[in-house]
Chains A and B, each alone.
Chain A
């Protein structure tokens, strides 16, 4: 953003100075014209002035000649003739200078020639020898008349010149009064323009300085960030095939900052030999494709020869000059990489262990079935064929063997079932708990009849679950209640379900708003001490001796397993001789 603003103001300054420049040129040309004009005016004024001066001189020369002539005539002393002779010469000179001054003006030329004629006429009357007094008187008189005419003519010309002089003077004055105003105002404008331009330049310069400071701070902080974050940045000029690395990029590679000039030739130098292909492929066809993949590769540090894992991402950009460049960031991800590797390894080990364990459990229980089945089959063969022939003690032993093998059968079956809850396919589907309860009850119909039990449930919810596992769960909990029912009264088991949110039940240790279906099984059986509430779900854990109540301690462990498979919770509450409550929370 700031970049474009800066460029805008540069344009503005450029136009400002251009305007000022043109104004100054304009100003110079005007001034030149004015001076030129003034020069002309002053020249013509000088001319006029000199013409009038020369005319006056002319008159005075004639007067001199007159005076000299008179003196001669009176005294006949030739000494008076001298000024008269000089006068004639001077008058000629005056005429020469006059005609040279007015040679362009025909009106004046005519006037001047008239004057010249009059002067000539005057001089005609200057005679040294008069034949008569009358002649003299006539001449004198005529000389007087000519002289008057001459005087009149010269005066006329003088007047003309004076008139010209005064008009030129007016023009000169007029011009002189306008010129400074124009010059001053244009100068003022250009000064103002320049001043404004200057202010803008100063302001931009200040902005630039501020930006520069900020950039420096940013640069410094990014340098620190690069060191902390273990990454380096670089710019690649596609045309020149050269790189510009940040200091930290050099450090990451184990080099002194800016210790060499990176380019496409030395790019592969410290890349791990096995990963060079990755870099070569990434830079291949880069001009055309204009894409750069996210790279992961290894390098060998120059100083320590240590192998590090790098990750590089880059983006294309074209600068104002149209050069194609790539700006990229390279990060040392060795620590992350090692950590993920470790986690992966641990996970794998864990998975393997888990798998082995379930496999072991399955194989153990499954393979144990075979020999046991044979033992039992042989027992049944002996029972059918030979039992009557056995001695009493042997018969008793035989029955013990039978019992033990039956118990083993139950144990193995339960174990197998337990392992199956882990192994079987976990296909979740929307399951109606009413159907599940019905199925469980019909499955247990025999023992329900035997215990004279009453099992009630009403409008149970639907849950997302594995149907056959949920059925197993219901069967196991109900049969547990049936098993530990009080012999003297009929067992009553009530199944209810409600919808609840996780945060409403602190024992779930889940503060979210996740919804759960809470299924409650309440019985009126023997119950148990609350301190055993957790123990009863442990595998092979039993609260009663196996002679009091047959069982393996697997049933409720299976329940726990199933509930865990559903990401749910199971709790037990009990009071001796009052009954037990099983609460199951299954996520909706």
Chain B
């Protein structure tokens, strides 16, 4: 189990947010490999590249230039190759409509970006732990819905 790394990809156009994200995982004592892309197009290119090792969890910002998080979500969900990837929406919006819509489109997790670094660490840790349970304890990923 020590060999197992959880592969995490974040798609967010905001540099500071990417920084908070990677720093938070650095400080968390979980075996994760985090890589980040700057927008939706880059994310889809990364996922579709043949040499890519598919991540376990993708964190998706909704509001991105070129290709929005929703578009990415739809594309990922329509490709069976990405079936095993857990999608976490990572957005500033706390609109109920947005949240429900992304869940309906197949997102597993909805995270409203916290305004406190400690809180961010807490949230990310919870996501990874719960995800771990889904991987190791034979839970039905289709029922995996989490809002933080």
Chain A positions near chain B (C-beta within 8 angstroms): 366, 369-370, 372-374, 376-377, 380-381, 384, 409, 416, 420, 424-425, 468
Contact = CB atoms under 8 A, between A and B. Distances in A.
B115 A381 contact: no
Contacts of A373: 92, 113-115
Interface string B89-124: 000111111000000000000000111111110000
B20 interface: yes
27 contacts: A366-B92, A369-B92, A370-B14, A370-B92, A373-B113, A373-B114, A373-B115, A374-B16, A376-B115, A376-B116, A377-B16, A377-B20, A377-B114, A377-B115, A377-B116, A377-B117, A377-B120, A380-B115, A380-B116, A380-B117, A380-B118, A381-B117, A384-B117, A409-B115, A420-B95, A424-B96, A425-B97
A373 B118 CA distance: 13
Contacts of A366: 92-93
Interface string B7-47: 00000001011001000000000000000000000000000
Contacts of B92: 366, 369-370, 373
B22 to A, nearest CB: 13
Contacts, number: 36
Contacts of A381: 117
Is chain A's interface secondary structure helix, strand, loop, or mixed overall?
Answer: helix
10 closest residue pairs by CB, A with B: A376-B115, A380-B117, A380-B116, A373-B115, A381-B117, A369-B92, A374-B16, A377-B117, A370-B92, A377-B20
Contacts of A420: 95
Contacts of A425: 97
Contacts of A384: 117-118
Contacts of A424: 96-97
A376 B119 CA distance: 11
A381 B24 CA distance: 11
Interface in B74-98: 92-97
Contacts of A380: 115-119
B118 A468 contact: no
Nearest to B17: A374
A256 B20 CA distance: 85
Contacts of A370: 14, 92
A514 to B, nearest CB: 31
A420 B92 CA distance: 15
Given A366-B92, A377-B116, A380-B116, 20 more contacts: A366-B93, A370-B92, A373-B113, A373-B114, A373-B115, A374-B16, A374-B17, A376-B115, A376-B116, A377-B16, A377-B20, A377-B114, A380-B118, A381-B117, A384-B118, A409-B115, A420-B95, A424-B96, A424-B97, A425-B97
A372 B93 contact: no
Interface string B113-148: 111111110000000000000000000000000000
A426 B92 CA distance: 23
A374 B113 CA distance: 10
**Residue among B20, B93, B119 with max Cβ neighbours from chain A (10 Å):** B20
Contacts of B115: 372-373, 376-377, 380, 409
A35 B19 CA distance: 143
A373 B61 CA distance: 15
Nearest to B113: A373
A373 B120 CA distance: 11
Nearest to A385: B117
Contacts of B119: 380
Contacts of B16: 374, 377
Contacts of A468: 96
Contacts of B95: 420
B91 to A, nearest CB: 10
A468 B16 CA distance: 34
A233 B94 CA distance: 64
A498 B17 CA distance: 52
A409 B115 CA distance: 9
Contacts of B113: 373
